[in-house]
Amino acid sequence: MTFEEIKQKEHLYYAKTFSRFDRCFVSGKGCELTDLEGRTYLDFFGGIAVNALGYADPELTGAIANQAAKLIHISNLFYSLPQTELCERLVKGSDFARVFFCNSGAEANEAAIKLCRKYFFDRGENRFRFLTADNSFHGRTLATATATGQPKYSRAFRPLPEGFTYLPYNDLTAMEEALQAPDVCAVLLETVQGEGGVLPADPAYLQKAAALCKKHGVFLILDEVQTGMGRCGTLFSYQQFGITPDVVTLAKGLAGGVPIGAMLCSKALEDTFGPGDHGSTFGGNPLACAAANVVVRRLTETDLLAHVQKAGAHLKARLKGLMDRHACLKAVRGLGLLVGAELDPSCPGREIVAAGLEHGLVLNCAGHNTLRFAPPLIVTEAQIDRMADILDQLLP
């Protein structure tokens, strides 16, 4: 099938939910992608921070193939060795007591919302409200789109679920005032607002928010769907802020490209869900967990996290160097290998992304006008230099 035939069929049959770039990728190796015409591209997007180990990683693809040959799916009505191994790895590498597996970040956040509401319901307390941040992103389901502090993701789907209040990000005064309300059950935040434009939280903000949650007896949920699993240089990004949340949600890079989501909760919440309270048909099936076990092992038993920290520092240094040459670059920010380069409004990010494809570079634009860099965690300094040299040509 030619590329034109693929596009025609896609336009005819697929829901009109994506604005696609004019490329069809068919294979990849390491940090490079190859399109239908055989052209190669350096990938600094990683499938939206998903392809943690890059493409065609031998250990990851081997584990997937081996598990597929034995057992892809059995349902959660039976025990599963890969799932049990993954539970143990995640709990032992964290501050949490229990894990629930699902299929996506939105589902992980849904599980967290239900968990916190049920905790107070079981105690006869009318506490159901979640405090979230302006400019946040938590998913596309009805509840998580409502939790998202960007009305463009939810306004067309009213009436929306009740119980979500939005606060300015990094504003402690607003947080303290909102926590006075008696119906608040949890605060839901990102350590870095990825979709919002790669905006990191002020450490003092997260630390004080955690203390305020404890003071008022509410739970702190950290959405680490994009920032977790080594993306920011530690297994979970919250580990860099000196805090321990009550709940953390994961997805994206957890299985290196195989769909999986996870919600981890503290001991205080471990008995909240009982049989039948929540569930998932596909969540944490043997295939997804076999893949995730490879990713978590690589993050916890090799020097990959140290590599991410070093590569992330090099990436930010190269981008800051470009600021001296291009007035349109206004700021560089981020953690590890989740980095944003904010552009002046006169330089549309989507046009830079489209131009990058013509030069063999895959980028992304997030927030109002920020180039988002989320390459595979295995990216080399030489590849970062190559990317920066291309971007140097693209920026006015």
* Domains in the chain: ranges and CATH: 3-56+303-394 (3.90.1150.10), 71-301 (3.40.640.10)
Percent of the chain at pLDDT exceeding 70: 100
Token pair, residue 119, equals: 């905790």
Report the distance separating Cα 368 and Cα 209, nearest Å. 26
The arithmetic mean of pLDDT across residues 193-221, rounded, is: 97
> Which pLDDT score, from 0 to 100, does residue 13 have?
95
CB-count exposure of residue 187 (10 Å: 0-12, 13-18, 19+): buried
Antiparallel, parallel or unpaired: β 32-35 and 40-43: antiparallel
The per-residue pLDDT of the chain, averaged, comes to: 97
Residues 6+ apart with CB under 8 A from 145: 138, 139, 153, 154, 157, 160
State the Cα angle at 224 between 220 and 230, rounded to 5°: 130
Predicted local distance difference test score (pLDDT) of residue 162? 96
Position 355 pLDDT exceeds 90: yes
In the chain, what is the greatest distance between 2 CA atoms, to the nearest angstrom?
A: 62
Average pLDDT (205-224) is 97
The pLDDT of residue 144 is 98
What gap in Å lies between CA 261 and CA 69, rounded to an integer?
Answer: 23
pLDDT of residue 360: 98
Percent of the residues in the chain that have a pLDDT greater than 90, as a whole number: 98
For residue range 48-104, what is the model confidence (pLDDT) as tens digits? 999 999 999 999 999 999 999 999 999 999 999 999 999 999 998 888 999 999 999
Is the pLDDT at 341 greater than 90? The verdict is yes
pTM of the model: 0.96
pLDDT of residue 368: 87
